[in-house]
Amino acid sequence: MSEAETLLRALVRIPSVNPRDGAGDGGETQVAEYVRDWLERRGVAATLYEVLPGRHNVVAVVPGRRAETVALVSHLDTVETYGMTVEPYDGQVRDGRLYGRGACDAKGPLAAFLLALAALAAGKPPPRTVVLAGVCDEEHAYRGVLGLLETLAGLPVAGAVVGEPTDLVPAIAHKGVVRYTVRTTGRAGHSSRPAEAVNAITLMAPVLAHLAATAPAVAPHPLLGPATRSVTRIRGGTGPNTIPGSCEADIDRRTLPGEDPDAVWDADRAELAALGAQVDPPFTVDPALDTPGDATVVTALCRALDGHGRPCEVRGMPFGTDASKLARAGIPSVVFGPGSVTDAHAAAESVALADVELAALVVETALREATAGSGPEGVGRCG
């Protein structure tokens, strides 16, 4: 059994479903402890940091020849296991693929980063100090990466590679999101006397039709395409014989780089209010990512991919990641990892072990190069 298979199987066998503000930590801390112990057996110092009550990040450091730092960031939590068609916590291997919840998103990328860090620690010091962080809460409210920013405060962080399934291509852009609830209010009544009531579901119908027919008025992004707006949940009614007095729907508005989330919500609120709906303040706001293609961490990763015979053209990704929070703090960030987003959160989630091994080699190669400028240019100080 390869080291990649042994490591990833061990990570998948530790359940770490994000509790989404429920009780406990879902196992994030147990994964963090495993990462710490695995690294310390290989001579790499690692520390746990409590971000939320009982929920931890793990941060490890390999000192380089310079204090300037490159961060490897991947998350410890997973989504739920409902509807899975494979055993979620077995780590079964078939035809070179390891199956289980988190195998692709994002314990495969985490395993690749761990293997790369261990290889760096076993050789000559890399040109720049390397920090590896396993963070909690990425799948819900990204509080783990916000805690990491506090941990890194004041360090000269030159760039970050964020582990997510990108099919081993470097992703420098992704969409953000503004999620809010829209509601209509009628007057409840008995279903035998509908003329005496006002049906809130009927009032919601033109709102839903408008959302389906009207795209956001913003120019497409060259790597991401158009902004989108989708209805993701709808709730209304109290019983089969009652005209509903209220109805509400959740809206997922995917934003492009350069869009201001507050302005997006203000525009949507005015647009839907004209149809008689009330729009609540957003319950989720996550920024988009748009890292310059010539950022040093990007070019180093691209050179490493090219050196290993892999495509190195930068891409955009449709999903959000912790990279946007790092970038907003002044840290140029690129998203990279083994696996495909089509396998993330899937009923038979899996990742090719060969891709985990190749990702580790690519990251190690990139970090052995000069992954930051020789002076202050291109180096952001977190915080």
pLDDT in tens, the chain (383 residues): 899 999 999 999 999 999 999 999 999 999 999 999 999 999 999 999 999 999 999 999 999 999 999 999 999 999 999 999 999 999 999 999 999 999 999 999 999 999 999 999 999 999 999 999 999 999 999 999 999 999 999 999 999 999 999 999 999 999 999 999 999 999 999 999 999 999 999 999 999 999 999 999 999 999 999 999 999 999 999 999 999 999 999 999 999 999 999 999 999 999 999 999 999 999 999 999 999 999 999 999 999 999 999 999 999 998 999 999 999 999 999 999 999 999 999 999 999 999 999 999 999 999 998 554 433 334 343 44
Among 147, 151, 126, 123, CA closest to 137: 147
Amino acid identity of 201? I
- Does the pTM surpass 0.75? The reply is yes
Strands (E), the chain: 45-52, 55-62, 66-75, 93-94, 97-99, 128-135, 156-163, 171-174, 176-185, 189-190, 228-236, 242-243, 246-255, 278-279, 284-286, 289-290, 315-317, 333-336, 350-352, 380-381
Q: Give the Cβ contact number of residue 151 at 10 Å.
A: 17
Say if CB 362 and CB 301 are below 8 A apart. yes
What pLDDT sits at residue 318? 87
Say if CB 29 and CB 54 are below 8 A apart. yes
Q: Give the Cβ contact number of residue 347 at 10 Å.
A: 12
Eight-class DSSP state of 127? S
Query: How far is residue 287's CA from residue 146's CA, in Å, rounded to a whole number?
Result: 13
Residue boundaries of the structural domains of the chain: 3-174+288-381, 176-286
Residue 99 C-alpha from the chain's centroid: 20
What pLDDT sits at residue 370? 56
Query: How far is residue 117's CA from residue 165's CA, in Å, rounded to a whole number?
Result: 19
Q: At 266, is the secondary structure helix, strand, or coil?
A: helix
Instruction: Say what angle helices 28-40 and 107-122 make with each other, to 10 degrees.
Output: 20
Query: How far is residue 319's CA from residue 137's CA, in Å, rounded to a whole number?
Result: 16
Say if CB 242 and CB 188 are below 8 A apart. yes
What pLDDT sits at residue 98? 98
Instruction: Say what angle helices 28-40 and 3-12 make with each other, to 10 degrees.
Output: 150
Residue 274 exposed, middle or buried by CB count within 10 Å (0-12, 13-18, 19+): exposed
Query: How far is residue 171's CA from residue 264's CA, in Å, rounded to a whole number?
Result: 24
Say if CB 248 and CB 236 are below 8 A apart. yes
CATH architecture, domain defined by 176-286: 2-Layer Sandwich (3.30)
Q: Which fold has domain 3-174+288-381?
A: Aminopeptidase (3.40.630)
Query: How far is residue 139's CA from residue 284's CA, in Å, rounded to a whole number?
Result: 12
What pLDDT sits at residue 106? 97
Query: How far is residue 156's CA from residue 178's CA, in Å, rounded to a whole number?
Result: 31
Say if CB 338 and CB 165 are below 8 A apart. yes
- Residues 6+ positions from 12 with CB-CB distance below 8 Å: 89, 90, 91, 98, 100, 101, 102, 103, 107
Among 352, 271, 367, 345, CA closest to 17: 345
Among 115, 108, 41, 44, CA closest to 75: 108
Number of H helices, E strands in the chain: 9, 20
User: What six digits make up the tokens of 380?
Assistant: 């952001």
What pLDDT sits at residue 369? 82
